[in-house]
Structure 1
Amino acid sequence: MRLQLLGSPDLMSQLEQHQPEIASAARNNPARFAELLRQTRTTQQQTAELEAQQEFSLMNADPFDVEAQRKIEERIRQQAVLDNMAHALEWSPESFGRVTMLYIDAEKNAISCVFWIPDSRV
């Protein structure tokens, strides 16, 4: 990531405008750059978790609020989508990438074996 920033003058100028300390570390100190990125990510995660907790407590404050119920429904739907994605990645990972080998169950001279074709453009 650091090398991409250093190779792109536009990205570096944007970073200098918004986060000059990270831009300086990207140029001069790779270890400090990595540390600042970790800190930023941790801070963003904590902020997101806090906002989610606050939103959840507001949704549960009035169980008869139509808008709160709509948000709860959307959250449940989003969680179902994430669960389906995790299930698909676990059980069908080939759906998300290119399969580069083709395996064929076969029998040769009365011996069962698996043949493979290195490139699956068959």
Structure 2
Amino acid sequence: MTIKELRTITGLSQRAFGEKYHIPTRTIENWEGGTRKPSETILYLLERAVKEDYNMVYVIIDDCLSRKAAIFDERFDTKEEAIQTAEAEWKSFTERDKNSRDAYYVATCTIDEDDEIDWDSINPIVEYK
């Protein structure tokens, strides 16, 4: 994630984000403007802090065969919007290759402070037998 994406998740201005995470506003401006780039360590630590502070909720679309997942995060206005988008993408995929999957599931979860996934619910979107 970029600094701007993290800041968007928080809904904070550059100044408020900087105050909350003890980063000078000018530094945030430089990072977002492309003048400077934060280190991978700083990005990692900020992402963990934002996840913990804002209890980021993910909607995960998971197919039972390949275990690949597409993650839709809080860039959507509502969980329903994320699910609708995921369902539309799944339907688009199944139009192209209907026999490639047995089932597709939508699951909601939260990421805890140890970056572990806490599952809230798992429900099939589409099932093929």
Question: Shorter-chain-normalised TM-score: which range?
Answer: under 0.3
Greater Cα radius of gyration, structure 1 or 2: 1
The two structures have a TM-score, normalised by structure 1, of: 0.28
